[in-house]
């Protein structure tokens, strides 16, 4: 145990580190600053100040969603390197497995949760068919940057140029 004396107080550095780690974990899971503060019995301003201390960049939050993409792993690497905050790319096989592993209610619930989560991003890059693009634009509005890879229904994977994605991500991140 690592104890620190400050005046007449004795502090546990490990307890402080665990609490900060817990705050960060809960925020990453989507809890608001106030929800985290209420759960842990601290002031919301503490949560905010901790985030400010650790902030590396401020700027637009970008999500990337696409299917059926042949080079999803390569695009994921490009997106991560560019600081994209949320990535969901699937090839045709992964897309069908995703759908088939869930019953109807679970699929709808998962889809609704995904929409709710993605609505929180400043920009959503969506890679897909013409029909899917129209649906996503109708749901998310002007925050969507559409990247059409074919006419619906797409039944096979499509290759997406990673250099074009890299350029787009850089432009978006620099715009903020």
**pLDDT of the residue at 58:** 63
**pLDDT of the residue at 176:** 58
Count H helices, E strands: the chain?
Answer: 8, 6
φ and ψ at 122, to 5 degrees?
A: -70, -40
Strands 3-6 and 144-148 turn out to be unpaired
Mean pLDDT of all residues in 150-173? 96
- Comparing 25-34, 87-96, 126-135, 144-153, the range with the smallest average pLDDT is 25-34
CATH number of 62-175: 3.40.50
What pLDDT digit, counting tens, does each position of 118-130 carry?
Answer: 999 999 999 999 9
What pLDDT digit, counting tens, does each position of 6-62 carry?
Answer: 999 999 999 999 999 999 999 988 889 999 999 999 999 999 999 888 865 567 899
Q: Residue 14's Cα: distance from chain center in Å?
A: 29
pLDDT at residue 153 is higher than 80: yes
Share of the chain above pLDDT 90, in %: 88
96 compared with 51, residue with greater pLDDT: 96
Mean pLDDT of all residues in 84-92? 96
Residue 146 burial (CB count, 10 A): 15
Residue with tokens 């497995």: 97
Query: Where exactly are the structural domains of the chain?
Result: 3-54, 62-175
**pLDDT of the residue at 1:** 74
φ and ψ at 143, to 5 degrees?
A: -75, -5
Residue with tokens 């990337």: 64
CATH number of 3-54: 1.10.10
């Amino acid at each position: 145990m690592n104890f620190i004396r400050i005046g007449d107080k004795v502090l546990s550095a490990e307890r402080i580190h665990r609490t900060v780690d817990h705050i960060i974990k809960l925020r990453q899971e989507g809890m608001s600053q106030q929800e985290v503060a209420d759960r842990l019995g601290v002031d919301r301003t503490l949560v905010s100040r901790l985030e400010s201390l650790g902030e590396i960049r401020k700027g637009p939050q970008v999500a990337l969603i696409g299917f059926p993409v042949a080079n999803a792993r390569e695009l994921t690497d490009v997106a991560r390197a560019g600081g994209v905050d949320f990535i969901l790319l699937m090839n045709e096989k992964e897309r069908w497995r995703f759908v088939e592993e869930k019953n109807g209610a679970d699929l709808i619930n998962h889809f609704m949760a995904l929409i709710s989560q993605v609505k929180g991003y400043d920009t959503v890059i969506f890679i897909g068919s013409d029909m899917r693009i129209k649906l996503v634009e109708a749901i998310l509005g002007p925050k969507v940057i559409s990247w059409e890879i074919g006419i619906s229904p797409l039944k096979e994977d499509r290759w997406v140029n990673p250099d074009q994605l890299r350029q787009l991500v850089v432009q978006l991140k620099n715009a903020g």
